[in-house]
Amino acid sequence: MQKDLDLQKQSANPRAYHGEPPAFLAKVPAAASNPFIFAAPHSGRHYPARFHQLSKLDAHQLRLSEDAFVDDLYDGVTNAGATQLVATHARSFLDLNRAANELEPAMFSGDGGNFEADLNNRVKAGLGVVPRIIGEGMPIYEGPIPIREAFKRLDEIYTPYHGKLESLLMARHKQFGSSVLIDCHSMPSGPELGRMAQAQPDIVLGDCWGTSCSREVASMAERLFLEAGFKVRRNVPYAGGYATRHYGAPARNCHALQIEINRSLYMNEKTVEKLTSFNDVRLRVLDVCHSMIRAYDTLYGAPLKKAAE
């Protein structure tokens, strides 16, 4: 493989549990040629043994909230000079697309000290950074779990993941004068979308209603997915999560766009297995990503690179 496409596989987990994988895997080209970071915070497939001991759900049930195989769908963006950041631990264990203080006090036992939780409606519904339920509405635990368990997960998984993501985005912004976070997710084909009168889309693009990336970036992505034959909707029902809101600041040329892909296109949602169509969908998604990178460079590349010098 050419030197400029060699991957530096990086990870960090400073105080990892014995035998646990790192908090993330970063696939970084030896010579990054664009400001794109493709992050997959919900495709982690590691379920710690102690999590199984605490949970009332079986292994298959826990996987139903996973953005299964999303990291595989985007595996290849490094060939276009972009970086890929992949979480390793399961979403039902720790949701990396939440703020660190989105904890539901009632689901924990023990002294939380001076920790101030953000008890918003999402957290009250059981979908905080340490989820109480999986997306299908099934409770994960029999009863309260120790608050120290939540802090341990935040310390050893959440902090390294977001620390790495932030450092990558800062490095790209310094190098290119801008950064582009593509937060990669998948969505169930129902019931959330099934309740809607409109035809179910293949792709939902979330730009937090125009606040997390420029209109040009969101429109460019929409056009390219449409040209690739996907049915696309913007912001409904997924406008963007914590990462999109937190890292997107288009006034400073920090763009963040969430991409949700309909799981029924590439996987069996009941068995959590890839369909025979998986590779075809993957190639179409990668073609859109590569086109997006080229189009972005045409829109912003030259003036931003000059300004960054």
- Per residue in 94-109, pLDDT (tens digit) is 999 999 999 999 999 9
Whole-angstrom Cα distance, residue 181 to residue 250? 11
Q: What is the DSSP track for 2-15? A: -GGG-EEEE---TT
Whole-angstrom Cα distance, residue 34 to residue 231? 27
pLDDT band at 193 (very low <50, low <70, confident <90, very high): low
Given this model, what pLDDT does residue 196 score? 52
Residues 6 or more apart whose CB falls under 8 angstroms from that of 219 comprise: none
**% the chain with pLDDT above 70:** 88
Residue 157's CATH number: 3.40.630.40
Q: Which two tokens stand for residue 72?
A: 């595989």
Alpha carbon separation from 141 to 38, 134, 267 (Å, rounded): 32, 10, 27
- pTM > 0.85: yes or no: yes
Q: Which two tokens stand for residue 234?
A: 């913007």
Average pLDDT of every residue of the chain: 90
Q: Domain count of the chain?
A: 1
Interaxial angle between packed helices 278-296 and 215-227, expressed in degrees from 0 to 180 and rounded to the nearest 10? 140
In the chain, at which residue ranges do the beta strands (DSSP E only) sit?
Answer: 7-10, 24-29, 36-40, 83-87, 108-109, 145-146, 179-187, 203-206, 232-234, 254-262, 267-268, 273-274
Q: Is residue 287 domain-resident?
A: yes
More confident residue, 247 or 13: 247
Peptide bond into 237 cis (omega under 30): yes
Domain extent for 285: 3-91+149-308
197-211, 216-230, 242-256, 284-298: segment of lowest average pLDDT: 197-211
Q: Is residue 11 domain-resident?
A: yes
Q: Is residue 267 domain-resident?
A: yes
From 188, 228, 225, 189, select the one nearest 205 (Cα to Cα): 225
